[in-house]
Amino acid sequence: MTDRVPVLAIGDVLLVSIQTDLEDQMVLNLQEDLSDRVTSTGARGVIIDISALEIVDSFVGRMLATVASICSLLGARTVVVGMRPAVAMTLVELGLSLDGVHTALNLEQGIVYLRRAWGPSSAPR
pTM (2 decimals)? 0.88
| Cβ proximity of 70 and 40 under 8 Å | no
Mean pLDDT split into 10-residue runs, the chain, 125 residues? 84 93 87 95 95 84 89 94 90 82 94 88 52
pLDDT of residue 2: 59
What are the φ and ψ backbone dihedral angles of 105, each rounded to 5 degrees? -65, -35
Which SS3 state, helix, strand or coil, does residue 21 take? Answer: coil
* One-letter amino acid of 23: E
pLDDT of residue 56: 81
Q: At what angle are helices 24-41 and 58-73 packed, to 10 degrees?
A: 20
pLDDT of residue 22: 82
pLDDT of residue 62: 86
- Distance CA(55)–CA(111), nearest Å, equals 24
Which SS3 state, helix, strand or coil, does residue 40 take? Answer: helix
Domains of the chain as residue ranges with CATH: 7-118 (3.30.750.24)
pLDDT of residue 14: 97
pLDDT of residue 122: 55
